[in-house]
Amino acid sequence: MKNTILYIILGVILAVGLGIGIYFIVNNNISANAQTYVSVSINPAVEFTVNEDGLVISTVATDAEGDQIIQSYDFYGMPIDIACETFTQLCINAGYVVYDNDETSEDPNEVLITVISEDADIEEDIENKIRLKLNSCFQNNGVFGFVSMDILAEYIDQAIEYDISVGHIKLIMAALTYNPELDFEELVNMPINEVVKLVNASHKNMVNTTSAIRSQLKLDLDALKASEEYIDMFTALEAINQIEIDLNNDALTSEQREGFENQLADAEASFDEIYGDLFDEYKDAKAALIDQAKEDSKQALETIKSQYRARVQNHKEDADNAKNNSNNVRNRISTWQEEQENPD
């Protein structure tokens, strides 16, 4: 049984997030059904959500350099492999690579990717398509660069504890970033595609903000949750989530399961009675913080776009020289990329 309150929250988040982009989704006839999460990091870093047709339906940068890219280019509706190729090309144009690397360089240009989907075949297919496009992009630009799957070392212990992939943990953390009212334990037990939808909704809500402002917003949202006004309410929510976790135990007897179900029903009824109005107040306070973040971002976004244009101009000669030399080094880069992918 899934937590009723969490799904109410999910519905609210999706309604707010999807409302921002619904005009474009309807008019471009592109499905808004987020199914897959993809992150790409060169030095600029970005994450996408992708629909069942393999098309990008949301994009958010995860660092300041990535802001320059996504505020200067619209990836919406692009096939995910072409979006990743375009992102890489924009990074090359702006000098976020070392143009004069070769086979002997100790610090090569590396793109780290993560792909998470409910369907393992879709995951593998997207990974392979992205790898092919990005390797070709480096070859065509005369730049020694290659693609790796991000090992996400910071999530390894949790992945082992919960017996899920490190990418799955990263996806959950992305969903929690701007939704502190949600619970890690509950998200672990949600279908991956539902967690992807949460990330997609957060992207839609945060699309016109900078990474710095989003980082501050996360601190503000965490502080709001932990404030004296709301801490008891969230303690009650955590208790409900714990009952949900207990209900997921396959070893329960029918009598034990019935007992937990009764506890859950009582706890949810009590929450609605005691905290229903307060939870509405929390949602309004959260929305106000998000609106302020968007307002604070307006001037910064114009500055970011100017910074990207300046970087492209400053690195144009190096980028052009590397591209003009691509015919001479393409085969060398291809061979080197294969060696990086299969070091043994």
Domain ranges of the chain: 4-341
**Burial category of 313 from C-beta neighbours within 10 Å (exposed 0-12, middle 13-18, buried 19 and up):** exposed
With beta carbons less than 8 A apart as the criterion, state whether 59 and 76 touch. Answer: yes
**Burial category of 2 from C-beta neighbours within 10 Å (exposed 0-12, middle 13-18, buried 19 and up):** middle
Q: Where does the pLDDT of residue 273 fall: very low under 50, low under 70, confident under 90, or very high at 90 and above?
A: very high
Q: Is 28 left (phi over 0), alpha (psi -120 to 50) or beta?
A: alpha
Give residue 13's pLDDT. 44
Q: How far is CA 74 from CA 32, 44, 97, 103, 182, in A?
A: 16, 16, 21, 34, 30
**Average of per-residue pLDDT values in the chain:** 90
Interstrand relation of 145-149 and 109-117 (parallel, antiparallel or unpaired): parallel
With beta carbons less than 8 A apart as the criterion, state whether 280 and 5 touch. Answer: no
Q: Where does the pLDDT of residue 344 fall: very low under 50, low under 70, confident under 90, or very high at 90 and above?
A: low
- Tokens representing residue 327 in the block: 């015919």
With beta carbons less than 8 A apart as the criterion, state whether 148 and 135 touch. Answer: no
Percentage of the chain surpassing pLDDT 70? Answer: 92
| 3 state DSSP class of 150 | coil
Look at residue 11 and tell me whether its pLDDT is greater than 80. no
Q: Which ranges of 103-191 would DSSP assign to H, the alpha helix?
A: 120-140, 156-162, 166-177, 184-188
Half-sphere exposure of 73 (CA within 13 A, CB side): 23
Q: What is the DSSP letter of 232?
A: H
pTM of the model: 0.85
Look at residue 190 and tell me whether its pLDDT is greater than 60. yes
Q: Where does the pLDDT of residue 28 fall: very low under 50, low under 70, confident under 90, or very high at 90 and above?
A: low
Look at residue 81 and tell me whether its pLDDT is greater than 90. yes
Half-sphere exposure of 162 (CA within 13 A, CB side): 20
Q: Where does the pLDDT of residue 17 fall: very low under 50, low under 70, confident under 90, or very high at 90 and above?
A: very low
| 3 state DSSP class of 54 | coil
